[in-house]
Chains A and B, each alone.
Chain A
Amino acid sequence: MAEKKCSCGCCCNSGKTKEYNVSGDEKQCTLADLPVGTKATIVKIMPQARGSKKFADVGIVPGSELLIEAHAPFGGLIRVKVMETSMAIHKDEAANIVMEEDSNIITEKDKD
């Protein structure tokens, strides 16, 4: 997996114009921005997020680690692995989940 990093050291999909969906906090980006194959940890869930309780019940809580497994062919859904289970969530909701990439993990795991 190519490791591209933007200046902030986070995981934003670099290459084109950088986009930050998180206002006032430039060190992180949201689940909606992460490329496939990244492993990242949830930092916080924005207060305006809908369904936070539902997400909490499947393990999408601050501190848990996610693996971005796939993006749906026609957009919209993101497939993430959380606590060893694959879950599909919608981009709109993913945009309210603030993430921080753990770069150590990705290099270690992607060697094998």
Chain B
Amino acid sequence: MMKKKFGSLVLAATLASSLLFAACTNGGSPAPATSTPAPDTSEPAVVAEPATTTTSDVIKVGVVNNPPSESGYREANVKDMEAVFSAANGYELKTAYSLKNDEQLQAAQGFITEGVDYLLISAAETTGWDEVLKQAQEAGIKVYLFDRMIDVDESLYEAAVVSDMSAEGDTAVQWLLSQNLDEYNVIHIQGAMGSDAQIGRTGALQAQFDAGKMNCVVQQTATWDEAEAKKIVESVINSGDKFNVIYAENDGMAKGAVAALDEAGIKHGVGQDVIVMGFDCNKWALRELKAGNWNYDGQCSPFQAQIISDLIKGVKTTSDKKIINEEKGFDATTITDSDIDTYGLGE
């Protein structure tokens, strides 16, 4: 009996500690959104300036986002938010990070009761936000969506600043067509099936396959996994099929593909046998581009903060609720070091 009790005690303790883990992982989850901001201190990097200056001209912004550990994209996105909505720019920033929709909803509610001026949301899921956004509207809080759309009536938010993933695909395919190859034998490595990025970046290329302008050697998903991408390319090489383009839907998978090429002694990059294309513009990827090992990298801009800030301060106005964040594609022959510094994600 005693033993059992002890066992459950231990279990409870571990559970509690795992909750603590989870809380920290989410960068303080919904807790910092409530009136007791104590856990905030555990993660000073992502927490806003304490509310020392509560003068009326300070704009209070609550950001509900995914945690920076989600991806390199998110990491840059979070840093960008922190940089733009800084005290120096006249903002007071409150943040809540979670991968879970219900935790995000709670956090948003917390921000509303706390009385922020603006609510910025990148939702984990597209549904379930009606109630909270209505509450915000009643409280006179203006809502901006960034990075991800939500399934609600347009009247519930001011504007949505998002990437157009299919435009990213279009830009990349246009660039590829402009290379004027004799024939296009493409290895197409897809991201996690069904994700926005995968759908957008696949679309334009698929159209080329369907139109018969490009030849699909293999089209496989590596679910964003670098090692899986390497296996896919390795298998094509072993089968002896000919190919001259690798179109990988993110940088990591492109790197995996290149590793397979290197081991097989296949030359790639500028002026070589195989064209390598990636997405996301990680700094290390842009450096590969600069070195001529890769040919193209498509941007997926995490920098929405400035646009939103401009809208808040009235520097910019918009008639359209959906604002497309302009995104570039970089060519290995034209990329510069300053491009790497400006647009590169990560270190």
- The answer on A and B forming one complex is no
* A residues apposed to B, CB below 8 Å: none
* B residues apposed to A, CB below 8 Å: none
